Structure 1
Amino acid sequence: MAEWWQAWVKTARLMVGVKDYDAYLLSRRRCNPDAKVMSREAFFRYCQDERYGGKSMKKCPC
């Protein structure tokens, strides 16, 4: 049941434009394991700025 709930929450967040922080961490580690990563709060602010600032989120922030 917990796995189903987590999947539902992830889907709901993506539907409203909230990116997944855990996916961001995996991507950063894959792109450059030694690079600094944003905190969860900084990542949220970054996504909000990208969404409402008119920029595209298609580019990897690596």
Structure 2
Amino acid sequence: MTGYVGQSLRLMVGVPEYSTYVAHMRSKHPDKPPMSYQEFFRECQATRYDGRVGRCC
């Protein structure tokens, strides 16, 4: 249950699951290294608050 609560809280503040991002990068973009968690977090925050679109595919 704790995992679901943490995931829900991260989604409510605009931070998707890092593990989902890493799995996506490995399956769809194997030639590109995934961002570190810190880079991922900053990108999510910038996308949410700066109005940028952060989709790659």
TM-score of the pair, normalised by structure 2: 0.83
- Structure 2, unmatched stretches of 5+, are none
Amino acid at match of 1:53: D
Q: Following TM superposition, where does structure 1 have runs of at least 4 consecutive aligned residues deviating by more than 3 angstroms?
A: none
Q: Report the count of equivalent residues.
A: 57
> Which residue of structure 1 lines up, in the alignment, with residue 11 of structure 2?
14
| Structure 2 residue 44 is the aligned partner of structure 1 residue 36 | no
Identity of aligned residues (%): 40
- How far 1:30 sits from its partner (Å)? 1.2
- Structure 1, unmatched stretches of 5+, are none
Q: RMSD of the alignment, in Å?
A: 1.5
> Per the alignment, in what secondary structure is the counterpart of residue 27 of structure 1?
helix
TM-score of the pair, normalised by structure 1: 0.77
Q: Distance in 1 between matches of 2:40 and 2:18?
A: 7
